[in-house]
Structure 1
Amino acid sequence: MRFFTLLLFAAQGLTAAPNIIFILCDDLGYGDLGVTWQNERSSSKKHHTPHLDRMAAEGVLMDRHYCPAPVCAPSRGSFLTGFHQGHCGIRNNQFDKALPNDHTVASTLKAGGYRTALVGKYGLQGKGKNAAEWPAYPTKRGFDDFFGYVRHADGHVHYPAHEWPLGNSAGHRSKKQVWWNNLEVSATLDKCFTGDLFTAFAKKWIVEGLEEKPDQPFFLYLAYDTPHAALQLPTGPYPEGGGLKGGLQWTGKPGAMINTAQGQIDSWVHPDHKQPGWTKTEKRQAGMIRRLDDSVGDLLQLLKDLEIDDNTLVIFTSDNGPHDVHYLAEAKYDATRFQSYGPLNGIKRDVLEGGIRTPTLVRWPEKIPAGKVNDTPSQFHDWMTTFLAAAGLPLPAQADGVSLLATLTGQGEQEDSTVYVEYAVVGRTPNYPDFEENHRNAPRKEMQVVLVDHYKGIRTHISQPDQPFRIYDLTTDQREKDNLAGSSTRFEKLQETMQKRVLQIRRPDSSARRPYDSLPIPSISPIETEQGLRVKFQAGSFPWVPRLNELNETEVETLNFQAPVAGAVEYSGLLEISEEGEYTFELSGSIQAVLRLHQAIMIDTDSPSTKPVDSAKGTVRLEKGLHPFRLSYLTNGPSPQLIIRRKGNQNFKFTFHRSL
């Protein structure tokens, strides 16, 4: 595998696989950074984020980057697996559900020679009581090392070794578990504020890995648990300096594990926030965000001190929009205090822009020009494919994302990202006075979003499967004020396109049923075709079924390609269905394969946990007409057989077509 990586680097003119750091904050709003909104505000109550503002100036601000759903579990699940919410096994509020045993961003990079770690909040472990029992513990999903909170609710407080008497419930007053690989270590973490703790451990992990294997690239997923939940303050000011010798440091001494584990917990207010008129919750919220800013500056300085800055790709973002809670007894806080949603409408749990558009900065001095602002839409599931492309590794056929390297570097043509959200929760959008009147106090429940070009289709409180989308032109109306649906023939056609598209890119999940699950997948508009298919082949050994998008195609009449040697095969074409109905697709033969109909995954046997199987099935309801499909698989011999059966008609016949 390492040899294959080096060959790809030589072909692309690259010198070395980049180190990758993905920094994910918890409930940090689009408007919580200086560069995205705070610097524009006239209020004296604002966040200052000088290090993050500098990071933006040294890289690119991705102004239209979206989380998969407006809450943490599905966002983290989609990031880790490369599936959007139409395919991901973690949906809605499925906190602590086991992340399916599939390829992850960590396992794929690890297969390509990377050292991998998750530091911080996880929450996708499954049922159990310890590292041995949890079926989806991070070290079982591709991470060499893990240090942090395993359980979702543990991340609600930020001093794991201490009780917190100010909490508004028993769960927010009690001590929490911190795991370091197979050990629970919270008893050694006296006076450790998790924002500091995770930063110090991340620095230690980077340094020690480079000392042991200086030429091995690394992937670090740094998942802060702040500024979400309990608005707790650090013990003291951020240590002077930063990087290798300054800033936060890991001491490794129980009871004084990091250099800020001293003084009084939950006590230090930043001098900028000691202003007349600031409430205690405002001081706490602002203090947590300023601490994140200091931590990022500390990490970036470390990269410079280690002389790996130029070839380290760093992403900073958030899992969803801003919260409106605090977990302090007898206190008040909401997202209006700092306009954490920026110029947008909506907060966490809303699919309005303020709930799903995240503050996203990317820095890679060797490849990304400084000072860019890019408004190309993209979403979390694009990061797996982006990282693999940057590392010179093949892109998985099962992943939903596209590589964002063209957007980041300004070189090449950017493939369109599929920006898609589905999410259900009770409650309503807050009645904030600076929200548009049409969004205030609006019910949530079943919600769905799809982007087509620069138009956003959004449905909330979905009661009927074909309920119309509200349509907003985000280039001129990011506040989602003017609904264009039905306003002209053009938008009637766009409505039809959106209604079809959301059925063509997803598959139902029995653990998160939707009102539109039973609708058939629509066919495409009639086009000129001829009988037959197109096929691509690439010889080699692959760790997963790859995409073969850049190879020459060969025309064939049916699934009859004979691979001359071991490698990857990809068929593409159109399936003609003569009448609407329920169809079962079955692949037979020793297969490791991915079958997509439109963009929906029908069959996926490409899992690291299973060996190639003899047969696999998928059932779906289809409209009459043409349905594009793509069959990708690994082989060292004949093609697998594809059998399609229509319910109630075993003599059904189908026809393959290719476009002219």
Structure 2
Amino acid sequence: MRKIFTFFFKNHPSLIVIFACLFFCVSVSIAQHHTSNDKPNIIYILVDDMGVGDVGVFYQNQRKNQPRIYTPQLDRMAEQGALLAHSYVNAPVCVASRSSLILGVTQGHTTVRDNQFDKAIEDNYTLANTLKQAGYTTAAIGKWGLQGQGGKKNWIAHPLKRGFDYYYGYIRHSDGHEHYPKEGLYRGTKEVYDNYTNVTPDLDKCYTGDLWTARAKQWIIDHVRKNHATPFFMYLAYDTPHAVIELPTSAYPAGGGLQGGLQWLGKPGKMINTADGNIDSWMDPQYANATYDHDNDPKTPEIPWPDVNKRYATVVSRIDQQVGDLLQLLKDLNIDSNTLVIFTSDNGPSQESYLNEPYTPEFFKGYGPHDGIKRDTWEGGIRVPTIATWPKMINRGTVVTTPHMSSDWMATFLDAAGLKAPARSDGVSILPSLTGKGEQLPTQVYIEYFQSDRTPRYEDIEEGRRGKRRNQMQVIRVGNYMGVRYDIKSASDDFEIYDVVNDPKQTQDLGHTPEMVTIQQLMKERVLQLRKPDSAAPRPYDTAYVPSLKDDIEQQPGQITWKLYQMNTPWVANPAGMRPLHTGHSKILQVPSKVITKDALIVFEGFIDVPIDGAYTFYLQTGGKAFVRIHDIPLIDQDYGYVPRTETSETILLKAGVHPVRVFYKPGSDNSIKLEWSGPDFTRKAVY
């Protein structure tokens, strides 16, 4: 058997020596350019099932002489910050989407996939526990649904066990279908928790959209007054406008911020200032008497909007007011300039059946200029309205056209805090796109999902995909081209390929054109080179061998490349975008003698030559912490919770040929590291 090692990049040792001091300064600057005083506060606002077409600045404002929803606060937020035009979720359903967001990994790598509601999110790096390491106080308010099955004793993934210092909201997924926890349609069955205490008996007439907003405002006020020097991260996850589409009790309180808008009163029976009147009763006046041309005939009288559409518009406008209220609070507290606020949704718009009058997103075209809804992997199901403001760093009127995924936010937030993301994270920082400073690394848009239903048969959906069976679905984007597969039977199935920049409705399938032959093959190979099978979410391509690289790779037998960085992270970090302090070559996997600091990170890069198609097992043992990838597949994780010198093994199906391997290593009590493998035709031996 041959073993082939080569470089990912050409190296120039003489230049490295000359510029070593310069690289040191650059690396330290990148890794430590923030002090505790200029780390931004971060607020991530996530709404439930709001489509990209539901927001004015994204689509509703274009609907002249048609039924439309008004979102002036969100429109103003976009004017004052950045509109992200190609923003994708990691899955077209809430639980999987939120899992990838919290963990910073794609659906090819998380343990919560498909519709695994209330499954415990794994104990690993999260948005919260990484930002805590960066000096942040963390809070989660609203919907969770990732805690584990059963009662409190079985909630092994309660937010307080995944890095949050404070939690207030619905723990269980199905609770988020009800917007009045005490008196709503599901009276007596829903529970709101303050950390571990069920506080539902105190929540008379509390509409959850108002409740979460008031609680979030009060938490921010208390934090700023008591810990003003400490930055905070808030995950504010609404359960509206999803499901029952219940109405508020009353009009939005006048004003906003400290003195106006929603206020937290904290008194049992009167927890917030809108906890009065009648539940599910207040209709926004701008929609209450709205009429429309139902038959597209100007000669016939217009008719009133259906009640369910009035409800939906009222709830979306209520969310708009809640966001404006929160932004006003930041101004009143004089922290708006250095607070990064993200507004987005967890997936595309939903077709709801919880009321007597079912709701579909057709009336307002909540999917915008796209096809597909929640549970579809067409653009309408996975592209979401995303807006970012950070007055200190993001210029007014910024429009980001480069694609990104919700799993990029971990790397982005840590970058804003002055740290690199864990090597486990699949995301890249999108700060360069938001701020216009630095080089934007590309995001790999990848989605996989299973759902046995069909794409709806709406008249404005392309005829060929109306009622299309979903089943196993998969999406990958290469440049402007989005590859989509529905009802997948095997890894060899072709992708439908669309230029989603110039054809956002995905009307022209380019998948079988001569120009797409190379892209078609690339997509089929890449989806196997960037995911890891999970037995709890089986796929028809799980048993396919991971393709090797092409034969025209520059090769140099018997060598690997190592790169040394200085990283002040407690985890094994991904130094993407950084310049190494030192670099060199070796014939064996060993820590270079140039390691002189406890903050060292070494990245080993090389290639293995797999002799035949088969299952190969890799074994890793280190004295510190390490993370191994083959292609972009997370092979072995010896970082989070790893006990040094404990062996970890993993088996992977590889096709014969050359495969890239990267080992991210953070030395510990000793510098030992050993990576071995075994295969169908050879016994266990060293990889390097």
Deviation, 1:565, is 4.3
Q: Which amino acid aligns with 1:435?
A: I
Partner of 1:556: 586
Partner of 2:541: 516
Instruction: Find the aligned partners of 1:266 and 1:475 in 2 and give their Cα distance.
Output: 41
Deviation, 1:573, is 1.7
Deviation, 1:556, is 2.0
1:60-209 correspondence runs (5 A):
60-130=82-152, 132-164=153-185, 172=186, 174-209=188-223
Instruction: Find the aligned partners of 2:200 and 2:343 in 1 and give their Cα distance.
Output: 27
1:362 aligns with 2:388: yes
The alignment partner of 2:211 has SS state of helix
Partner of 1:463: 489
Greater CA deviation, 291-300 or 559-568?
Answer: 559-568
Residues 460 and 65 from structure 1, CA distance in 2 versus in 1: closer, same or farther, beyond 3 angstroms? same
Instruction: Find the aligned partners of 2:334 and 2:441 in 1 and give their Cα distance.
Output: 33
Instruction: Find the aligned partners of 2:169 and 2:328 in 1 and give their Cα distance.
Output: 23
Instruction: Find the aligned partners of 1:302 and 1:126 in 2 and give their Cα distance.
Output: 34
1:496 aligns with 2:521: yes
Contact between 2:677 and 2:684, CA under 8 Å: does it hold in 1? Answer: no
Contact between 2:28 and 2:566, CA under 8 Å: does it hold in 1? Answer: no
Partner of 1:338: 364
Deviations 1:524-546 (A, max 9, x none): 11212213111122456631111
The alignment partner of 1:336 has SS state of coil
Instruction: Find the aligned partners of 2:466 and 2:496 in 1 and give their Cα distance.
Output: 16
Partner of 2:246: 232
Q: Which amino acid aligns with 1:537?
A: L
The alignment partner of 2:154 has SS state of coil
Partner of 1:544: 571
Contact between 1:191 and 1:261, CA under 8 Å: does it hold in 2? Answer: yes
Instruction: Find the aligned partners of 2:623 and 2:659 in 1 and give their Cα distance.
Output: 25
Q: Which amino acid aligns with 2:451?
A: V
Residues 539 and 641 from structure 1, CA distance in 2 versus in 1: closer, same or farther, beyond 3 angstroms? same
Deviations 1:7-30 (A, max 9, x none): 867646996100000000000001
Deviation, 1:382, is 0.3
Deviation, 1:331, is 1.3
- Give the alignment's Cα RMSD to 1 decimal: 1.8
Deviations 1:161-198 (A, max 9, x none): 1142xxxxxxx455410000021000000000000000
Instruction: Find the aligned partners of 2:524 and 2:51 in 1 and give their Cα distance.
Output: 30
Deviations 1:357-402 (A, max 9, x none): 0000011111111112222111011000000000001321110000
1:295 aligns with 2:349: no
Residue from 560, 584, 593 that aligns with 1:533: 560
1:483 aligns with 2:509: yes
Contact between 1:27 and 1:322, CA under 8 Å: does it hold in 2? Answer: yes
Contact between 2:34 and 2:417, CA under 8 Å: does it hold in 1? Answer: no
Deviation, 1:582, is 1.2
Partner of 1:593: 626
Contact between 2:131 and 2:414, CA under 8 Å: does it hold in 1? Answer: yes
The alignment partner of 1:496 has SS state of helix
Residues 623 and 544 from structure 1, CA distance in 2 versus in 1: closer, same or farther, beyond 3 angstroms? same
Deviation, 1:46, is 1.1
Residues 445 and 613 from structure 1, CA distance in 2 versus in 1: closer, same or farther, beyond 3 angstroms? farther
Contact between 1:592 and 1:634, CA under 8 Å: does it hold in 2? Answer: yes
Partner of 1:168: none
The alignment partner of 1:148 has SS state of strand
Gap regions ≥5 residues in structure 1: 165-171
Instruction: Find the aligned partners of 1:274 and 1:138 in 2 and give their Cα distance.
Output: 39
Greater CA deviation, 115-124 or 5-14?
Answer: 5-14
The alignment partner of 1:422 has SS state of strand
The alignment partner of 1:75 has SS state of helix
Contact between 1:535 and 1:569, CA under 8 Å: does it hold in 2? Answer: yes
Partner of 1:29: 51
Contact between 2:379 and 2:505, CA under 8 Å: does it hold in 1? Answer: yes
Residues 201 and 6 from structure 1, CA distance in 2 versus in 1: closer, same or farther, beyond 3 angstroms? farther
Partner of 1:431: 457
1:621 aligns with 2:648: no
Partner of 2:673: 640
The alignment partner of 1:292 has SS state of helix
Instruction: Find the aligned partners of 1:6 and 1:470 in 2 and give their Cα distance.
Output: 45
1:221 aligns with 2:235: yes
1:474 aligns with 2:500: yes
Gap regions ≥5 residues in structure 2: 1-26, 292-303
Partner of 2:21: none
1:250-265 correspondence runs (5 A):
250-265=264-279
Contact between 2:415 and 2:429, CA under 8 Å: does it hold in 1? Answer: yes
Deviation, 1:6, is 11
Scaled by the length of structure 2, what TM-score is found? 0.90
Deviations 1:280-325 (A, max 9, x none): 1011111110110000000000000011111100000000000111
Instruction: Find the aligned partners of 2:36 and 2:402 in 1 and give their Cα distance.
Output: 25
Contact between 2:33 and 2:418, CA under 8 Å: does it hold in 1? Answer: no
Contact between 1:202 and 1:222, CA under 8 Å: does it hold in 2? Answer: yes
Contact between 2:623 and 2:671, CA under 8 Å: does it hold in 1? Answer: no
Q: Which amino acid aligns with 1:569?
A: I
Instruction: Find the aligned partners of 1:561 and 1:119 in 2 and give their Cα distance.
Output: 44
Instruction: Find the aligned partners of 1:393 and 1:11 in 2 and give their Cα distance.
Output: 9
Contact between 2:191 and 2:200, CA under 8 Å: does it hold in 1? Answer: yes
Instruction: Find the aligned partners of 2:588 and 2:167 in 1 and give their Cα distance.
Output: 48
Deviation, 1:650, is 1.4
Deviation, 1:332, is 2.7
Deviation, 1:578, is 2.4
Contact between 1:581 and 1:621, CA under 8 Å: does it hold in 2? Answer: yes
Task: Give the % identical residues.
Answer: 45
Could you list the structure 1 runs, at least 4 aligned residues long, displaced by more than 4 angstroms after superposition: 5-10, 12-15, 651-654
Partner of 2:468: 442
Residues 55 and 203 from structure 1, CA distance in 2 versus in 1: closer, same or farther, beyond 3 angstroms? same
Instruction: Find the aligned partners of 2:312 and 2:375 in 1 and give their Cα distance.
Output: 19
Q: Which amino acid aligns with 1:331?
A: E
Q: Which amino acid aligns with 1:283?
A: K
Aligned length: 640
Greater CA deviation, 338-347 or 36-45?
Answer: 36-45
Q: Which amino acid aligns with 1:308?
A: I
Instruction: Find the aligned partners of 2:197 and 2:37 in 1 and give their Cα distance.
Output: 38
Residues 610 and 12 from structure 1, CA distance in 2 versus in 1: closer, same or farther, beyond 3 angstroms? closer
The alignment partner of 2:635 has SS state of strand
Q: Which amino acid aligns with 1:587?
A: L
Deviation, 1:326, is 4.2
User: Which one has more relative contact order, counting CA pairs under 8 Å at least 6 apart?
Assistant: 2
Instruction: Find the aligned partners of 1:525 and 1:454 in 2 and give their Cα distance.
Output: 23
Contact between 2:610 and 2:658, CA under 8 Å: does it hold in 1? Answer: yes
Deviation, 1:475, is 1.7
Q: Which amino acid aligns with 1:80?
A: I
Scaled by the length of structure 1, what TM-score is found? 0.94
